[in-house]
Amino acid sequence: MIVETDLLIVGAGPTGLFAAYYAGFRGHRVAVVDSLPELGGQITAMYPEKQILDVAGFPSVKGRDLVAGLVEQANTAKPEYLLGRTARTLEHRDDGVTVGLDDGTEVRAGAVLVTAGIGKFSPRPLPVGEDWLGRGLEFFVPSFAPYAGKDVVIVGGGDSAFDWALHLEPIARSVTLVHRRDAFRAHERTVQQVRDSSVRIVTQAQVSAIDGDGTVASVDVTVGEETTTYPAQAVVAALGFVADLGPLQQWGIEVHKRHVVVDPSMRTSLARVFAAGDITEYPGKVRLIAVGFGEAATAVNNATVAIDPTAHVFPGHSSEGT
């Protein structure tokens, strides 16, 4: 299968979806590839219920609602979505690039925009939880409803652990948060909200055993030499994840600490290849969704000149002529 397009976007998270819309605004045909089977990237896979507080114009917006709005906006560009596929190879042609996908599809484009976030990610396992995955132990909380009325143990000390503890506290019978240190990586405001709630916080601790008959029924938590058993019908292992840029690293693109180096135009070290969003690295980089949106517009406008040398970088304002 051969797909012909003007701009290929690698990554269908918020930055990639906004880039798809903006490519349509610039009059481009656009294709979007993502290894996940659904649009929305990490938000859809991990945080659909999370309230997002740092997107301009939204004092607070649920993750799934933000994705729904971005998809609706992107669809005005009539993008060709190639989901559940991974971009593997990249070859330059005289008038563009050819990207090979893992299912044998070839995408021929004038330029490529990489918006792959942190790349492919896999959760860090809970050592004692290997046999319990899908039987009461999960790595993500895509929906809160299944936890209603349950005793929940959350393992971790980052933003995800505290966000989920805060949202599950009103609907679960009990929530216990277990962390191996006294210090947390989560936002201070969220930590304080959890401290002020009914959530039990156990620090300097580790989950030493999980027990149950077929499904999780209890969890042993060890602090020093003392072990306490807590009732638990659900365990959430929020221990972070391992990110991997995968085949992108074989393209010859300049990478610094798992991030793609770009210049102020969002150009990478490869001709006709641009990047935007969390995957990028440059002096002063701030990894926020709001920043990714601006980088997407910058990247698409500069990629436009690579696609059509007679075009201008600045497109004019979208409000002009209305």
All structural domains of the chain: 2-121+241-307 (3.50.50.60), 125-237 (3.50.50.60)
Q: Which pLDDT does position 318 carry in this prediction?
A: 67
Residue 94 known to bind ligand: no
Contact 181, 264 (CB under 8 A): no
pLDDT at 193 (0 to 100): 95
109 is in an annotated binding site: no
Both tokens of 238, joined, read: 């929020």
Question: Which residue is it, tokens 């909200």?
Answer: 193
The single-letter code of the amino acid at 257 is K
Known binding residue 95? Answer is no
Q: Is 278 annotated as a binding residue?
A: yes
**CA-wise closest residue to 86 among 30, 159, 27, 12:** 12
Residues in the chain: 322
**Contact by Cβ (8 Å): 75, 189:** no
3-state DSSP call for residue 106? strand
Query: What's the pLDDT score for residue 179?
Result: 97
Does the annotation place 87 within a ligand binding site?
yes
Residues near 146 by beta carbon (within 8 Å), at least 6 away in sequence: 234
Report d(CA 71, CA 59) in Å as an integer: 20
Low-confidence residues of the chain: pLDDT under 70? 119-121, 243-244, 318-322
81: annotated binding-site residue?
Answer: no
34 is annotated as contributing to ligand binding = yes
Which residues have C-beta within 8 Å of that of residue 166, sequence separation ≥ 6?
Answer: 190, 193, 194, 197, 199
Write the pLDDT tens digit of every residue in 180-226.
999 999 889 889 999 999 999 999 999 999 999 999 999 999 999 99
From the list 25, 84, 102, the residue with the least C-alpha distance to 303 is 25
Is residue 318 a known part of a binding site?
no
First to last CA, the chain: 40
CA distances from 227 to 2, 176, 178, 224 (A): 59, 15, 13, 8
> What is residue 52's predicted lDDT score, i.e. its pLDDT?
87
